[in-house]
A and B are shown apart, each in its own frame.
Chain A
Amino acid sequence: MNLFDGNDWPRVLLPLPVVLPLFAAGLTLALARRPRAQRTISVTALSIVVAATIAMLVLTDRGNGTYSIAVGGWPSRLGIPLVADRLSTLMLVVSSVVTLAVLLYSLAQGVADGEEGTPVSIYHPTYLVLSAGVSNAFLSGDLFNLYVGFEILLAASYILLTLGGTKARVRAGTTYVVVSLLSSMVFLTAIALVYMATGTVNMAELSVRLREVDPDVQLVLHLLLLVGFGIKAAVFPLSAWLPDSYPTAPAPVTAVFAGLLTKVGVYAIIRTETLLFPGGQAGDLLLWVALATMVVGILGAVAQNDVKRLLSFTLVSHIGYMVFGIALGTAAGLSGAVFYVAHHITVQTTLFLVTGLVERYAGSTSLDALGSLAKRTPVLAVLFFVPAMNLAGIPPFSGFLGKLGLLQAGVDVGTWPAYVLVAGGVVTSLLTLYAIAKVWNRAFWQEPQEHTDRDEVAGLATATQIGVRTPLGMLAPTAALVVVGVGITVIAGPLFGISDRAAQDLLDRSPYVDTVLQGGASGGATEVPR
């Protein structure tokens, strides 16, 4: 078998985003006593991953559209394929850029706060494992390998969330771990049942074989998978864990979680809805769930008086937009959802990073304690303002374009539930603007309030040092992400082009299925019943 023949050579890149961070994680663990070496290795590994994923996106989009590789050289039906199509490579690019930026931010924070060699020697290996897990989930062409990818990233996230083992983190971590364990169990049950019904867990093959399964059994499998992924993506009835557990973690950890972990769930829902169970069996259910997620999430955000919790609620709320796009099931809807995921990963991560800077500067994230930050630190104000307006969907930012795409897709579908969802989307957008404006007014514009509620603030304060000048090393990655967020607006045309083509591929299914079933390792042409 020659990997380099013909037009298929880009598939040698496929294992890189998974293998390289794992390898680097091992190295950094071995070098636990040498923080400088750890830093160099982590940054190098993740930089290479960024370069590789960008190359993969360009090659996939210009080339065949889908590449698959059978890991370990097993024939594609026995082994575990890694599959890269436009959707997964786009997700990989955005996630790897965000991961690298957050890593740089946390390095600067560690250096500035004098944490050299102190308990965080475990931080680098764990962070790299998290990155590997996310990449594995995005690339997996096998349901069980997807489960393994989820477990890799979850195991790393447990450790990052409870870093240092303080009281607040142990409490929040406990909820998070138990809920995540439960969702994994649901997913595992679904895998067992899927195997029972079809005799395979290869996603390409499943998409063929599941059609022969009894529709009622299909529905059970479908709903089980949706519940499992729904908990991870934090869609409404299953979202209560998120605003409780995220805000207590260190700022960079919250930022990377908010950007990536829920989106992995959304990605899995996209695959379930398009590849495994096309035909929109659960379309109506997902529509209402999306509405509830948007509205309930944003109402929760409006009621908050802590910036981190408020942002966590907006995170839940905006997952609703993505589910909305998926539920429509049209090419325009899927394309809008994919674009929105790319936009939202960047923006939400940036906002949490800026909040970390604010907390570091002012010593709190409670709106009662903050005030007149725009005067005291104009740089932070600008860094907050741009992504915040982006999140709220003010033109010309990408948030506006993403929402516009989704709402247009909703209008095109034209059924009455779709119109209700469009209305819900508009209301959510306005309420997001309201919530964000509240943060802006009270934290950045107004004078600080007289009485502050110290005991409530204390629970969420995680900054290690307060009131010192914001180090450039933390400012630069945040600013870079702000620029990337604005840059998505600039390249929105080509990006929508990619997401449109990704949506076409998703609906068509045959590029994915054919590539995996035929293109694997040595196996000859396989017949794909249509």
Chain B
Amino acid sequence: MSPNLTLVVISGVLVACGVSLLLERTLTRVIVGVVLLGNGINILFLVASGRPGRAPILSGGTTAETMSDPLPQAMVLTAIVITLGMVAFVLALAYRSWQIDGHDEVQDDVEDRRIVRRAELDETSASYDDDTHETSDEEGEGISR
């Protein structure tokens, strides 16, 4: 089987665009990224189905030799439906995020933010249970925060 070059290129371009959009902070761009990525992969399934042929329905003289491979088409259909559902959910999530925060940016991990804040304050972790030093200067900073 020699793959169709056009389809391969289209698939590659879509996936590349999708990945670069996925790296964005804004959820709406991430959604567009997911859509592009999903479509890129769907086209990959078309590449997988091999040479083009007639609709895989056994009527009007279509035989197994002249029809296209129906299995990847079934898979692509399923994948399209799933992607649709997921995108709808992420859209709802983006909308909710906008309702709550006024923007839809994906925020940092709680941990990351805490570490950044502690680093700025030059502080040790709260889980570091410093029993040995009675005169800890940790408390002073805890109050000043």
Contacts and interface: CB of A to CB of B under 8 A. Distances in A.
Interface of A: 144, 148, 151, 155, 158-159, 162, 165, 167, 170-171, 173-175, 177-178, 181-182, 184-185, 188-189, 191-193, 195-196, 201, 240, 243-244, 302-305, 309, 367-368, 438, 442, 451, 453, 456, 459-460
B109 interface: yes
Contact of A196 (B48, B97, B109): B48
A460 B109 CA distance: 13
B82 A144 contact: no
A496 to B, nearest CB: 37
A170 B44 contact: no
Interface of B: 1, 3, 22, 27, 30, 34, 37-38, 41, 44-45, 47-48, 71-72, 75, 78-79, 82, 85-86, 89-90, 93, 96-97, 100-101, 106-107, 109-111, 114, 125-127, 129, 139, 142-143
B41 A174 contact: no
A185 B34 CA distance: 9
Nearest to B82: A151
Contacts of A159: 89
Given A177-B90, A181-B86, 16 more contacts: A151-B86, A158-B86, A174-B107, A177-B89, A181-B34, A184-B86, A185-B34, A192-B47, A192-B48, A195-B45, A195-B72, A240-B109, A303-B127, A438-B127, A453-B126, A456-B126
A453 B71 CA distance: 57
Given A175-B106, A189-B41, A189-B44, A162 B93 contact: yes
Contact of B139 (A151, A178, A305, A451): A451
A17 to B, nearest CB: 21
Contacts, number: 104
Nearest to B115: A303
Given A155-B85, A181-B34, A173 B93 contact: yes
Nearest to A148: B78
Nearest to B128: A303
Given A155-B85, A181-B86, A303-B125, A170 B110 contact: no
- Binding site of B, secondary structure by majority: helix, strand, loop or mixed? helix
A188 B142 contact: no
Contacts of A193: 44, 48
B106 A459 contact: no
B114 A456 contact: yes
Given A167-B100, A367-B127, A144 B89 contact: no
B110 A459 contact: yes
Given A144-B75, A244-B110, A174 B48 contact: no
B126 A191 contact: no
Question: Which 8 pairs between the two chains have the least Cβ-Cβ distance?
Answer: A305-B127, A196-B48, A192-B44, A244-B109, A195-B48, A192-B45, A151-B82, A305-B126
Contacts of A189: 41, 44
Contacts of B126: 305, 368, 453, 456
Nearest to A300: B111
Given A244-B109, A305-B125, A459-B110, A453 B41 contact: no
B37 A174 contact: no
A4 to B, nearest CB: 30
Nearest to A158: B89
A468 B1 CA distance: 68
Contact of B47 (A175, A177, A181, A196): A196
B59 to A, nearest CB: 19
A191 B114 contact: no
A304 B44 contact: no
A200 to B, nearest CB: 8
B106 A155 contact: no
A334 to B, nearest CB: 30
